[in-house]
Amino acid sequence: MFNWNWEIENQEYLQNTIKRCKRENILLPSFEELKKPETIHPKIIEALKKIGLQETHPLNLFRINWRNDPDGGGIGGINFLEIPRELTGIKARVIGLVGKFFPTGAHKVGATYGCLAPALVSGRFNPEYHKAVWPSTGNYCRGGVFNSNLLDVHSVAILPEEMSQERFNWLRERTDEVYATPGCESNVKEIYDKCHELEAQSDEYVIFNQFDQFGNSIWHYEITGFTIEALFNQLRTSKSRLSGYVSATGSA
């Protein structure tokens, strides 16, 4: 397990966060609530049924879990897909988690919540001064901007200029600053060159680099890992055994 220091680093920063949350009616869900969304207060679950999945509403923070009901809008079962044997060609059942029912349509919104929320509650990030920088080729950047909006935080998006126009349009509608760096998806170095440039300009910019943020890994360990285990136990029979687990690049 990671040794993460939860001591309050700056009381002034923390008080600024508390004041903002009170003013904007922002509630921060705990990792335990996102891990077991059935424990979310019934009034919040009921309220979610009247809020769009992609809506910029603070209560959508409670939708950062794997069990959003795509039909009723509340909390349902784990969202997963079984790939038919006619396609796989093997006897083993092949099961995949489905992340399209997260806000933004991708689970990376969870990884960014795992980075930003702890920074706020531990007094490491001052929402009255700091700017949250989200460097990425796509979904991590979008997730960070979405959560920044919900948490009333100034956001900065950095991604390669050759990524889709749709992605840039989405970001420009929602973020405070957008920077397009040279290249495409494989040009990661250029993204971080821009991060270093911003850091040299001002200490306002706080870089949430997904590759060195423990919050990214911890969110997935606690929420995604727990969900995978719960789904396996839900589907297994007395004759079942786990043959393998496969994950892709990115937050995986």
Distance, first Cα to last Cα, the chain:
17
When pLDDT is averaged across residues 151-161 and rounded to a whole number, the result is 96
Q: Domains of the chain (ranges plus CATH)?
A: 11-24+105-214 (3.40.50.1100)
The pLDDT tens digits of the residues spanning 217-230 come to 999 999 999 999 99
Measuring CA to CA, how many Å separate 240 from each of 34, 77, 236? Answer: 28, 21, 5
- Percent of the chain scoring above 70 in pLDDT: 96
Output the pLDDT for position 225. Answer: 94
- Which among 229, 252, 184 has a CA at the least distance from the CA of 35? 229
At residue 131, does pLDDT exceed 80? yes
pLDDT of residue 47 exceeding 70, the answer is yes
pLDDT by residue (tens digit) across 74-121?
Answer: 999 999 999 999 999 999 999 999 999 999 999 999 999 999 999 999
Dihedral over Cα of 10, 11, 15, 16: its sign: negative
